[in-house]
């Protein structure tokens, strides 16, 4: 049995509620009710209507002010009949089973035309239920509007058709929009005051806020006047401490009238000539915390603020609080951006400093010149040199001297990864592309967009990866592993290798077309033994660096230590020198680094150091490969199988050591005796 409640509030029909069998309808002030009556006289859960034994029944839920049915209080359960009118606070609910019976004739006619033009305030009806419901819920667009009328200017104060509440809502809507666009606290406060003095029965006021970093229980004297206004002389006078403290602690807005003779509420000027007749005070709250007040008062008996003015002031205070919160957030974001920008600048400066190539020898002078020539170009650069000479450092120098210096510098060692992992690292992969691919990952090419990608050990790249890599170098888009989406990037590639690529090309281990594509510009970095004059300069550079990192204050090197550094052949090049100095800084006991603090590798006697062993007692002719195999084995023995330590002593990368262990088929059990990290 379907029925309806036609709801009337004041002089207007506001809603039509359909009653459905099996569903209990609750009526009350709480927003959880199906029908909400916004009146303080209405209880939170006031009454309910339900269907029992085929009859719709009304029940009062022990409400404070009672439920009236046909001018009689409801006691217990009462059956509803068509035409019954239920009175709850100011709301009237007409119970009908035929909507046409609930409306006057004039309204019926409006309902018949509702499909064309629905009245904004009246719920109409027609001759039957279906026509009325279709009118209430039209299937087509009935109105179009470019801007809300609440933002239109000017507002006609003389318009008698618009109630005071509607005008206040319009003003508040405009004020809220304007407050949200103010750039600072003072402009927010002044705009709010202007709107309040225009819209309420007061003639002076101020916005007062607690200091941003205030802690503890606030009092009125802690407030700072942000802005004040007065329609005429005398100027604004500060709120009484008693009233300010009360509102700060209670967090509730206050309206006080006839306060001239109240010493706790009234305000006077220095001459005692100012007498406030009425006072408004509203808290500015952010969450549950009161951060300030809006203080308003009238000095003339002609202006008497009422509860509606208090409501309006409180609403403005809430909007002021929101505007201040947004400003604080904007300020925090701006400060964070500034901090991050400073950090980026510092990081770039640090990276640039770390990219500085140390060395004033003639061979390094040539490297500097080649870097300067290569940097402005977009061409691919091939950096060649032994392991440990600083090929990555040269690549960084090219990047930070190029127009791409503000873009990312991304580095990848091709020898450290398997073919599958290398492809994923270079080009990225999609979720589910392979076991363990739980999410999308962008590759180094995407990460280096608008910057530089350095690929170390380019000669270790497999033929299949070489083919895909070449296609990207030629400007073609690529797809992530397991994906079909084309990805285009703008990346400058710098390749590095210690291999003889020409030999690899002739043997078919490296693509000829890729070699020519990479070999556009070439920079050769000399071994450290070929620029011995740079050793001392580099040693002091690393000493200064590791002093700063470790907090040591070592002054320099002894003369014997410097002499030893220059005599050594440095098979591991600059990387080995760096490791030797770092170890010496940590181990040195005096104020200077001594010879005993320099732990140098015995590779200085091997053939790859540049020193030629003397033929004599104990000398056994052998190949360089066999000599290298023996030396690597001896170094692993001395470190107890610790590959990382062995690689550091040998002056080579860990991945290079692993590759040589496999090449020479060294005893695997040897490498497991110690820590292999």
The secondary structure of 427-456 as a DSSP string is H-B-TTSSTT--S-B--HHHHTTTSEEEEE
Average pLDDT over every residue of 309-333:
86
Tell me: pLDDT of 638 over 60: yes
Tell me: pLDDT of 353 over 70: no
Tell me: pLDDT of 476 over 60: yes
Q: What is the pLDDT of residue 455?
A: 93
Q: How far does Cα 171 stand from its chain's mean position?
A: 35
Tell me: pLDDT of 382 over 90: yes
Query: What distance in Å separates the CA atoms of residue 323 and residue 316, rounded to the nearest whole number?
Result: 10
Please work out, in degrees rounded to the nearest 5, the angle formed at the alpha carbon of residue 635 by the alpha carbons of 632 and 638: 155
Query: What distance in Å separates the CA atoms of residue 297 and residue 204, rounded to the nearest whole number?
Result: 6
CA–CA distances in Å: residue 408 to residues 251, 405, 444, 449: 52, 8, 10, 7
Q: How far does Cα 90 stand from its chain's mean position?
A: 49
For the chain, how far is it from start to end, CA to CA, in angstroms?
Answer: 80
Query: What distance in Å separates the CA atoms of residue 306 and residue 414, rounded to the nearest whole number?
Result: 79
**Least confident range of 241-245, 255-259, 391-395, 573-577:** 255-259
Name the pairing type of β-strands 91-96 and 204-209: unpaired
Tell me: pLDDT of 571 over 70: yes
**Nearest Cα residue to 36 out of 76, 98, 90:** 90
Banded model confidence at residue 535, pLDDT cuts 50, 70, 90? very high
Tell me: pLDDT of 268 over 50: yes
Banded model confidence at residue 162, pLDDT cuts 50, 70, 90? very low
**Residue 140: other Cβ atoms inside 10 A:** 5
Q: The whole model's pTM is what?
A: 0.44
Q: What is the pLDDT of residue 603?
A: 57
pLDDT digits (tens, 9 = 90+) for 174-205: 777 777 777 888 888 888 888 888 888 888 89
The 3-state DSSP class for residue 52 equals strand
Specify which of 94-103, 111-120, 164-173, 273-282 reaches the highest per-range mean pLDDT.
Answer: 273-282
Average pLDDT over every residue of 400-425:
87
Please report, rounded to a whole number, the percentage of residues in the chain having pLDDT higher than 90: 24
- Is the pLDDT higher at 606 or at 304? 304
Token reading at 404: 């791409």
pLDDT digits (tens, 9 = 90+) for 611-628: 444 444 445 566 787 788
- Is the pLDDT higher at 489 or at 348? 489
Q: What is the pLDDT of residue 479?
A: 86
Which strand (E) or helix (H) includes residue 5? Answer: strand 3-9
Name the pairing type of β-strands 409-413 and 72-73: unpaired
Q: What is the pLDDT of residue 616?
A: 45
Tell me: pLDDT of 482 over 50: yes
Write down the mean pLDDT value for the chain.
79
Query: What distance in Å separates the CA atoms of residue 117 and residue 140, rounded to the nearest whole number?
Result: 11
For 53: left if phi > 0, alpha if psi spans -120 to 50, otherwise beta; the answer is: left
**Residue 617: other Cβ atoms inside 10 A:** 5
- 10 Å CB burial of residue 36 (0-12, 13-18, 19+) is middle
Token reading at 171: 């003003």
Residue 161's contacts (CB-CB under 8 Å, 6 or more residues apart) are none
Whether 554 contacts 543, CB under 8 Å: yes
Specify which of 145-154, 432-441, 444-453 reaches the highest per-range mean pLDDT.
Answer: 444-453
Query: What distance in Å separates the CA atoms of residue 166 and residue 481, rounded to the nearest whole number?
Result: 62
Q: What is the pLDDT of residue 540?
A: 92
- 10 Å CB burial of residue 379 (0-12, 13-18, 19+) is exposed
Tell me: pLDDT of 159 over 60: no
User: Is the bond preceding 325 in cis, omega lying within 30 degrees of 0?
Assistant: no
Q: Where are the alpha helices (DSSP H) in 217-281?
A: 241-250
Residues facing residue 298 across a β-bridge: 278
- Is the pLDDT higher at 300 or at 148? 300
**Least confident range of 77-86, 239-248, 521-530:** 239-248
The 3-state DSSP class for residue 202 equals coil
Q: What is the pLDDT of residue 635?
A: 84
Q: What is the pLDDT of residue 650?
A: 85
pLDDT digits (tens, 9 = 90+) for 121-146: 333 333 344 333 333 344 445 445 45
Q: What is the pLDDT of residue 73?
A: 92
Q: What is the pLDDT of residue 141?
A: 52
- To the nearest 10°, report the CA torsion of 532, 535, 536, 538: 150
Tell me: pLDDT of 33 over 60: yes
Tell me: pLDDT of 247 over 90: no
Whether 58 contacts 88, CB under 8 Å: no
Banded model confidence at residue 536, pLDDT cuts 50, 70, 90? very high
Banded model confidence at residue 256, pLDDT cuts 50, 70, 90? confident
């Amino acid at each position: 049995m379907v029925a309806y409640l036609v709801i009337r509030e004041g002089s207007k029909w506001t809603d039509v509620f359909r009653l459905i069998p099996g569903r209990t309808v609750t009526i009350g002030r709480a927003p959880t009710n199906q029908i909400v009556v916004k009146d303080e006289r209405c209880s939170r859960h006031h009454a309910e209507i339900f269907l029992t034994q085929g009859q719709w029944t009304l029940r009062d839920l022990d409400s404070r002010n009672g439920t009236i049915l046909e001018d009689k209080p409801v006691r217990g359960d009462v059956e509803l009949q068509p035409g019954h009118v239920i009175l709850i606070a100011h709301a009237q609910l007409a119970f009908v089973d035929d909507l046409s019976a609930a409306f006057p004739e004039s309204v019926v006619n409006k309902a018949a035309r509702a499909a064309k033009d629905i009245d904004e305030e009246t719920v109409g009806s027609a001759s039957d239920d279906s026509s009325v419901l279709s009118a209430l819920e039209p299937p087509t667009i009935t109105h179009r509007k470019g801007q809300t009328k609440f933002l239109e200017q000017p507002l006609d104060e003389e318009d008698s058709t618009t109630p005071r509440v509607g005008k206040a809502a319009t003003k508040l809507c405009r004020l809220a929009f304007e407050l949200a666009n103010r750039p600072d606290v003072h402009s927010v406060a002044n705009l709010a005051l202007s709107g309040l003095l225009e819209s309420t029965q007061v003639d002076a006021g101020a916005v007062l806020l607690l200091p941003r970093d205030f802690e503890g229980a606030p009092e009125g004297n802690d407030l700072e006047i942000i802005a004040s206004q007065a329609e005429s002389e005398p100027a604004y006078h500060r709120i009484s401490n008693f009233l300010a403290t009360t509102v700060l602690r209670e967090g509730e807005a206050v309206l006080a009238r006839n306060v001239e003779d109240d010493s706790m509420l009234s305000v006077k000027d220095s001459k005692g000539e100012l007498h406030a007749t009425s006072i408004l005070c509203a808290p500015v709250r952010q969450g549950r915390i009161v951060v300030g007040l809006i203080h308003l008062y009238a000095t003339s008996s002609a202006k008497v603020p009422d509860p509606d003015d208090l409501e309006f002031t409180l609403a403005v205070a809430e909007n002021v609080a929101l505007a201040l919160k947004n400003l604080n957030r904007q300020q925090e974001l701006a400060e964070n951006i500034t901090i991050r920008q400073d950090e980026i600048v510092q990081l770039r400066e640090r990276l640039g400093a770390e990219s500085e190539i140390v060395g004033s020898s003639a061979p390094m002078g040539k490297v500097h010149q080649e870097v300067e020539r290569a940097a402005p170009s977009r061409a691919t650069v091939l950096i060649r040199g032994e392991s440990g000479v600083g090929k990555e450092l040269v690549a960084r120098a090219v990047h930070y001297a190029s127009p791409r210096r503000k873009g990312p510098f991304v580095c990848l060692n091709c020898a450290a990864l398997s073919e599958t992992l290398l492809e994923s690292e270079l080009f990225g992969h999609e979720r589910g592309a392979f076991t363990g691919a739980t999410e999308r990952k962008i590759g180094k090419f995407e990460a280096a967009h608008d910057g530089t990608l350095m690929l170390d050990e380019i000669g270790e790249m497999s033929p299949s990866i070489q083919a895909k890599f070449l296609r990207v170098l030629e400007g073609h888009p690529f797809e992530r592993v397991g994906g079909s989406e084309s990805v285009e990037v703008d990346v400058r590639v710098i390749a590095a290798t210690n291999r003889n690529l020409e030999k690899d090309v002739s043997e078919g281990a490296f693509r000829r077309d890729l070699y020519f594509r990479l070999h556009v510009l070439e920079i050769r970095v000399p071994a450290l033994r070929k620029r011995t004059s740079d050793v001392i300069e580099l040693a002091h550079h690393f000493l200064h660096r590791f002093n700063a990192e470790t907090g040591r204050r070592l002054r320099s090197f002894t003369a014997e230590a410097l002499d030893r550094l220059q005599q050594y052949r440095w098979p591991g090049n600059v990387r080995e020198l760096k490791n030797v100095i770092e170890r010496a800084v940590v181990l040195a006991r005096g104020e200077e680094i001594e010879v005993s603090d320099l732990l140098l590798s015995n590779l200085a006697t091997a053939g790859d150091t540049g020193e030629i062993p003397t033929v004599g007692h104990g000398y056994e002719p052998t190949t360089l490969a066999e000599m290298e195999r023996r030396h690597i084995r001896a170094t692993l023995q001395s470190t107890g199988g610790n590959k990382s330590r062995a690689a550091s002593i040998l002056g080579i990368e860990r991945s290079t050591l692993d590759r040589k262990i496999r090449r020479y088929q060294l005893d695997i059990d040897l490498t497991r005796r110690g820590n292999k990290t």
